[in-house]
């Protein structure tokens, strides 16, 4: 039957109680082992003493007879050694008492061979003794024993102590479980309150952080980071949604107006309107393809196909691809290699990111520009840099770089998704990207964790 009272329904209470009860049980087991060992040692000592005394008295009987045995027992009573615990009795063949400090042999001892426990009247006081009976050669019987009240008192003391310790242990287990439950409820109350706000759609609340540095503090910090990321993603989704709506509305409006006007135009003008419409729709298709690619990269599904990528080879391929474009524009495209950095990644995506940066550098730096692609291995980081000598970017616009549909120069064609895709690729590879005005020009650096080829 399950307990139904309030605290028992708490997982924290049950866990703390079970662990505390297990600790108490372990202590009681250790206590029982100690108790049994102590009692065994005491009993063994008493048995050894009884057997030694009985053997000595039998030797006295063999050498000195009954009279000598009686004198030896009288001497034992007078020497005051163990006089408070010794039990002796000598009877004749008919069972009559000859000497001793108990009136008769207990029946439970007489019928047993070896040591036995029994109640006796010793020196006019009832006591509990451990004793043995030996029948001598003349038919008389010799009883040798010891008062074990002290041992029984020790055993009773152990029993009481064990019982009290067990009861106190159970009470302390319940108390510890209640305290643990209370402490846990205090620590998770802030999380519960935060979850309530999040369920209501409020992502602005955060858990207050403390300087304790324990598991809950780290959990709270992780939850806050998760909510920060969630809030950024939600803001990004709203921004993307609004921007898509804005970017769709303008071309769709142009298409609709051009098609409406084409009804009253001649065949050549209608054909021109259709070509215009076709170009606009193709541009929209390109924009949505880029959005889908960014969404795929941000989802992280391509991380499973990561392989070691030699950045120097990748840069060489990009330079081979864009050298004709640079020569046509009168620009110079160079490489600066420092070391042989290798990272784990998707070669196609990394090549796309570098190509986008080079394409932007050639586009915005203008004619006769100098664009340099560099690779370097700095400690445990692989670094890729793309530098140009163009006009750079207005410092006020730097924080907006990487946002979807952001364009620093709206006079130039484009959708503002190229740099956003670069940011997504860098984030997928666990790297960092930074835009810095070099005066003149712009420097873009991407940093990734370097990969040791020998480990592959």
- Domain ranges in the chain are 11-155, 215-299, 304-455
Q: Which CATH architecture has domain 11-155?
A: 2-Layer Sandwich (3.30)
Alpha carbon distance, N-terminus to C-terminus of the chain: 57
Residue pair 207/197 in contact by the 8 Å Cβ criterion: no
> What is the token pair recorded at 122?
């010793």
- pLDDT at 282 > cutoff 50: yes
Fold held by 215-299: Helix Hairpins (1.10.287)
pTM, 2 dp: 0.46
- pLDDT at 351 > cutoff 80: yes
Confidence of residue 2 (pLDDT cuts 50, 70, 90): very low
Query: What whole-number distance in Å separates Cα of residue 133 and Cα of residue 110?
Result: 7
pLDDT top residue among 280 and 432: 432
24-28, 42-46, 287-291: segment of lowest average pLDDT: 287-291
Order of strands, sheet of 381-387, starting from the edge strand that comes earlier in the sequence: 332-338, 370-378, 381-387, 442-449, 432-437
Q: How far is CA 330 from CA 38, 324, 370, in A?
A: 100, 10, 9
Q: How far is CA 426 from CA 161, 289, 311, 337, 345, in A?
A: 68, 19, 14, 20, 10
Q: Which residues of 78-115 are buried (b: 16+ CB within 10 A; e: fewer)?
A: eeeeeeebbbbbbbeeeeeeeebbbeebbeebeeeeeb
Query: What whole-number distance in Å separates Cα of residue 308 and Cα of residue 156?
Result: 75
pLDDT top residue among 164 and 209: 164
Domain 304-455 in CATH 3.30.565.10? The answer is: yes
- pLDDT at 242 > cutoff 80: no
What 3-state class would DSSP assign to 77?
helix
Average pLDDT over residues 189-216: 77
Residue pair 351/317 in contact by the 8 Å Cβ criterion: yes
- pLDDT at 456 > cutoff 60: no
If residue 334 lies in a helix (H) or strand (E), which one and from where to where? strand 332-338
Average pLDDT over residues 219-234: 80
């Amino acid at each position: 039957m399950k307990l139904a009272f309030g605290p028992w329904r708490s997982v924290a209470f049950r866990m703390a109680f079970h662990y505390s009860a297990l600790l108490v049980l372990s202590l009681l087991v250790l206590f029982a082992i100690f108790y049994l060992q102590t009692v065994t040692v005491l009993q063994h000592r008493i048995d050894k003493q009884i057997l030694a005394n009985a053997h000595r008295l039998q030797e006295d009987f063999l050498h000195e007879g009954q009279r000598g045995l009686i004198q030896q027992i009288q001497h034992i009573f007078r020497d005051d050694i163990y006089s408070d615990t010794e039990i002796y009795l000598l009877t004749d063949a008919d069972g009559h008492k000859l000497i001793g400090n108990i009136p008769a042999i207990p029946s439970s001892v007489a019928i047993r061979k070896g040591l036995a426990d029994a109640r006796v009247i010793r020196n006019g006081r009832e006591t509990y003794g451990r004793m043995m009976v030996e029948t001598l050669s003349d038919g008389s019987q010799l009883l040798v024993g010891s008062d074990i009240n002290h041992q029984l008192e020790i055993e009773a003391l152990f029993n009481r102590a064990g019982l009290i310790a067990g009861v106190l242990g159970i009470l302390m287990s319940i108390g510890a479980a209640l305290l643990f439950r209370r402490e846990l409820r205090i620590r998770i109350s802030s999380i519960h309150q935060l979850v309530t706000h999040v369920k209501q759609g409020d992502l602005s609340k955060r858990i207050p952080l403390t300087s304790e540095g324990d598991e809950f503090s780290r959990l709270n910090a992780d939850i806050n980071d998760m909510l920060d990321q969630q809030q950024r993603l939600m803001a990004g989704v709203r921004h993307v949604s609004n921007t898509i709506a804005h970017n769709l509305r303008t071309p769709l409006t142009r298409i609709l107006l051009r098609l409406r006007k084409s009804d009253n135009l001649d065949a050549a003008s209608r054909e021109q309107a259709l070509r215009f419409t076709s170009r606009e729709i193709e541009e929209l298709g390109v924009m949505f393809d880029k959005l889908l690619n960014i969404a795929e990269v941000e989802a992280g599904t391509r991380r499973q196909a990561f392989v070691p990528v030699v950045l120097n080879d990748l840069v060489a391929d990009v330079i081979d691809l864009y050298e004709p474009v640079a020569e046509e524009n009168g620009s110079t495209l160079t490489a600066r290699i420092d070391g042989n950095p290798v990272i784990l990644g998707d070669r196609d995506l990394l090549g796309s990111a570098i190509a986008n940066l080079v394409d932007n550098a050639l586009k915005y730096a203008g004619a006769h520009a100098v664009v340099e692609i560099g690779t370097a291995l700095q400690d445990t980081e692989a670094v890729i840099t793309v530098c140009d000598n163009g006009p750079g970017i207005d410092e006020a616009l730097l924080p907006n770089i990487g946002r979807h549909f952001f364009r620093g120069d709206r006079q130039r064609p484009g959708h503002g998704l190229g740099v956003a895709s670069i940011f997504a690729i860098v984030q997928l590879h666990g790297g960092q990207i930074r835009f810095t005005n070099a005066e003149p020009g712009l420097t873009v650096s991407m940093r990734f964790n370097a990969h040791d080829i020998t480990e592959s």
